[in-house]
Amino acid sequence: MAELPLEALQNLADLHPKPTNLHFQYGTAGFRTLGNTMDSVMFRVGVLAGLRSKKLDGKTIGVMVTASHNLEPDNGVKLVDPRGEMLEAAWEVHATTLANAPTTAAFIDALSTVVKNAKIDLSKPARVVYARDTRPSGPALVAALEDGFKAIGASARDAGVTTTPVLHYLVRAINTKGTKNEYGDDSEEGYMQKLSSAFKKLVAGKAATPPLVIDCANGVGAQAAVKLSEYLGDSLKLILHNTATTTPGALNNACGADFVKTSQKLPPSLASVLNPGQRACSLDGDADRLMYFHLDDRGLFHMLDGDKIAALVAAFIVELVKAAGLEEEIHVGVVQTAYANGASTKYLSERLPVTCVPTGVKHLHHAAERYDIGVYFEANGHGTVLFSPETTEKLNTHQPSTPAQSTALGHLVNLTQLINQTVGDALSDMLLVEVVLTHKSYSGIEWDSLYHDLPNRLVKVVVANRNVFKTEDAERRLVSPPGLQQKIDELVRRYESGRAFVRPSGTEDVVRVYAEATTRTQADDLAFRVGGLVYDELVSRAFNLACVVSMCRFVIYKGTKPVQLCHLLTRPCHSIINQAFDSRLRLDRRRPINGDGFGVGWYDSSHDEELGSQPCIFTSVTPAWNNVNLIRLAEKIKSPLVFAHVRATTAGSLSLDNCHPWSFGKIMFMHNGGIAEFTRIKRKLQSYLSDEIFNVVQGNTDSEWAFALFLSKLPNVHARTFSTHVLRKAMEDTIAHINEMTEEEGITEPSLMNFCVTDGESVIATRYISSRTEEAASLWFSSGTTFSEYAEGGHYKMSKMDKRENIIMIASEPLTFEKGKSHMPDWMEIKTNHMVVITPKMNLLQIPVIDKYHVPPSDPAALNRGTDFAAAKGFLSPGPRRDVAAISSDTDALPSLEPI
């Protein structure tokens, strides 16, 4: 019996060490994470692919390097089994085990265990075929993968840069070559040839449809679509957009199938392209998802998602089967997930059997195999049609009795060739849709009117551990945490045609909430409320927020010129409203949703005796993004000093009184963070206040009481003016007093005290935590001469024309990702336990807060504060943004002054 090639494995594995502190998981879509962390994973997957092939007697295994619809910095890898289907579940476990072996020795040990347990005969040959998408991290990752093939002695065929479905096709074509089930020529050309000739046969003699606009997501689908277009010739004209595969950062950015589905809007880049009445579609980054859409006569956007595709296609196939006289012999069924729109399920189940399965292609694929013809689509646009071997055989051998039967039969046979039966395939699905539209003479409008989607909303609640959520009934009901489903049911009953479900994601630590109802407002409301139930459940389970990533975001603008509020709040794609939604409850990645409270406070541009000098404050407890009043006001109000805050409930109820900012006279205040175990010091804090200040407080949050304490620290709360020094001193006293009270109570958990205060002229903002070892909630600043939109879609940047600071912004998370002229990011991080002061004359100072939690910069501990605490509480600006801006953390950009 052959042995593992230990020397080769050892030597090559040493070149691809596993990063410590990272855990990898082979999830529903293989391994997927930041591309630059995946070198060792790739190598090990290469070895595993070889073993899988040996296990299957030398059948060719596919390896695809892609992160699909994710943004460019991510990458991923997944294995494809010999018939072109997803890797067998038991091997997903092997993949995870191997990827996490900490050392080369441990990796080789784990390999030996797999060989032994899976009874792999190592003398068998190993064959693999691999491909990658257009991501810049692809070539290096493929090199690591190739080392893996080499180490296990696999013969490997490089399929180059191509789509995921083409790779699946190749696997099946290679493994069936020369058999009676030959799937097609095993090349990309063979695939194009097969699809295009089936398409031409299917539309022969029909009036050609108008050209189709395709949004290629700036990904590999662009290259494939160019080739396909040549093969299709005049049979279908394709107009390709978003084909910039080499433009950095363009991939899936404000375009592509996932963007369309999650934001339910037109990719901005197509706004000037698409005409009313015209139909278009979006592919995702590896071209295995498809979303159609069209603009109606009034130019309104309508989305035709996976459910609509399933309805169109299934009804067409049923008709053909009937017309071919095979109604009794061939049963067509549809497979959906809980995400399928209720209206689509109703439409389909009135016509044919419908099964609901848990999310994830493999579940749908397997369920579809149980039908003679199984149509499966996820609402997100991934899907295909499977013809069972018996059905294919029947279609090829059946003798029609009439010319009409013969035509229908011919169409069905051609469909078996047109459809990629290994996996969802955007291009093949697109041709399928075009065939049906051609046969039916449907425009997008007629297709859309098959049924009317119930308005729906998808939000997510970020959690530290999604495993407490367990579901049943194809993820439609929660069994754990106990009691939560009953609360959801009670809520859902109050909405007309309401439906909602909660499921843990299979790909990230979030819980997803889906809701639908008869109106958009009701669907939003239901989603938000169910999200709130999930959130409250986590809060009550954990007592404090340790296991819930909450979010509060704020932004401060101070400028020599007034800013139109919309440039700060509603228009930038990374405004705090969007960030808020990103952080906690979000309609997948791109649309904001946060209903826990929003507030904006601003001062007048010029002084008016009658209006007074106090700020105006607008607060709301409805989702900020959905607040048309806010959107309208923001377009018409200008101010030189603005505070804005989006809140997630950490304590206190959902009420206007609890929304930041608060004001008293000229003073305005807001907070990002939380005072640890506040209820234990609340009474003590209150007893310190004068009656006047005590009665100022209307809400019940720690933040508002901290504001009251701040007011009580001012020498004269009614003064006409406050010097910067007086405000600073009051702020320091507030923090010191809170620390004193928590310490007296023996509270050991740190408090996060990022406070901001202004009197309309000076601004003081703290980045503070009562700990010497933990990092405070994040806080950033940016300054420059203009803050403006440089690219459509709300992409803003700060420009610095000269050295003057006309604008200073402070925010809990950067609002832009651009780098300034000096190649420094727009945003710089404010240091922990420092205070930033903007003087009336626009000087910007960073001053350390010197107390027992101050760690001088000379102490190495200053650089080693832990991030777990603030991160667990949800107050650390996450992931890629930190990467972009991280270089500022050790850049001393601001003058550091000693306290006055």
Q: Which residues are catalytic?
A: 68
* Residue 252 tokens, joined: 């899936």
Residue (of 577, 295, 288, 649) closest to 448 by Cα position: 295
507 forms part of the interface with ligand 16G (CB under 6 A): yes
84 forms part of the interface with ligand 16G (CB under 6 A): no
Which one-letter amino acid corresponds to residue 588? D
Q: Which is nearer to ligand 16G, 259 or 707 (CB)?
A: 259
* Stretch of 375-383, 427-435, 834-842, 844-852 lying at the interface with ligand 16G (CB under 6 A): 375-383
> How many angstroms separate the CA atoms of 759 and 756, rounded?
11
505 forms part of the interface with ligand 16G (CB under 6 A): yes
From the CB of 505, what's the least distance to ligand 16G, in Å?
A: 3
From the CB of 224, what's the least distance to ligand 16G, in Å?
A: 18
* Stretch of 391-399, 505-513, 522-530, 803-811 lying at the interface with ligand 16G (CB under 6 A): 505-513
| Packing angle, helices 306-323 and 403-418, rounded to 10 | 140
506 forms part of the interface with ligand 16G (CB under 6 A): yes
Pairing between β-strand 354-356 and β-strand 332-336 as defined by DSSP bridges: parallel
319 is in the binding site of which of ligand 16G, Mg ion, none (Cβ under 5 to 8 A by kind)? none
* Residue 195 tokens, joined: 């699809």
The only residue of 81, 147, 286, 378 in contact with ligand 16G, by rule CB under 6 A: 378
Residue (of 754, 753, 721, 766) closest to 899 by Cα position: 766
39 is in the binding site of which of Mg ion, ligand 16G, none (Cβ under 5 to 8 A by kind)? none
70 forms part of the interface with ligand 16G (CB under 6 A): no
569 forms part of the interface with ligand 16G (CB under 6 A): no
* Stretch of 245-253, 358-366, 736-744, 746-754 lying at the interface with ligand 16G (CB under 6 A): 358-366
> How many angstroms separate the CA atoms of 878 and 582, rounded?
10
33 forms part of the interface with ligand 16G (CB under 6 A): no
**Cα dihedral value 161, 164, 169, 171, nearest 10:** 80
Residue (of 555, 661, 577, 686) closest to 623 by Cα position: 577
> How many angstroms separate the CA atoms of 654 and 667, rounded?
24
586 forms part of the interface with ligand 16G (CB under 6 A): no
Pairing between β-strand 552-564 and β-strand 586-587 as defined by DSSP bridges: unpaired
Q: Which is nearer to ligand 16G, 287 or 576 (CB)?
A: 287
186, 170 Cβ separation under 8 angstroms: yes
**Cα dihedral value 670, 675, 678, 683, nearest 10:** -60
From the CB of 424, what's the least distance to Mg ion, in Å?
A: 8
The only residue of 16, 135, 294, 382 in contact with ligand 16G, by rule CB under 6 A: 382
Return the DSSP state at 501: E
Residue (of 842, 840, 845, 826) closest to 892 by Cα position: 845
From the CB of 284, what's the least distance to Mg ion, in Å?
A: 4
115 forms part of the interface with ligand 16G (CB under 6 A): no
* Stretch of 110-118, 357-365, 391-399, 781-789 lying at the interface with ligand 16G (CB under 6 A): 357-365
From the CB of 503, what's the least distance to Mg ion, in Å?
A: 20
Tell the residue number behind the tokens 């067509």, with chain if given. 332
Tell the residue number behind the tokens 């509060």, with chain if given. 552
The only residue of 9, 26, 28, 711 in contact with ligand 16G, by rule CB under 6 A: 28
The only residue of 336, 341, 380, 392 in contact with ligand 16G, by rule CB under 6 A: 380
* Stretch of 121-129, 319-327, 347-355, 374-382 lying at the interface with ligand 16G (CB under 6 A): 374-382
From the CB of 29, what's the least distance to ligand 16G, in Å?
A: 4
Q: Which is nearer to ligand 16G, 508 or 536 (CB)?
A: 508
Kindly list the strands in the beta sheet with 499-504, ordered across the sheet, starting from the edge strand earlier in the chain.
Answer: 456-462, 510-516, 499-504
758 is in the binding site of which of ligand 16G, Mg ion, none (Cβ under 5 to 8 A by kind)? none
Phi-psi region of 473 (alpha: psi -120 to 50; beta: other; left: phi over 0): left
Q: Does a cis peptide bond (omega within 30 degrees of 0) precede residue 481?
A: yes
* Residue 389 tokens, joined: 């071997």
* Stretch of 15-23, 216-224, 353-361, 822-830 lying at the interface with ligand 16G (CB under 6 A): 353-361
628, 498 Cβ separation under 8 angstroms: no
Binding stretches for Mg ion (CB under 5 A): 68, 284, 286, 288-289
Residues that bind ligand 16G (CB under 6 A): 28-29, 359-361, 378, 380, 382, 505-508, 512
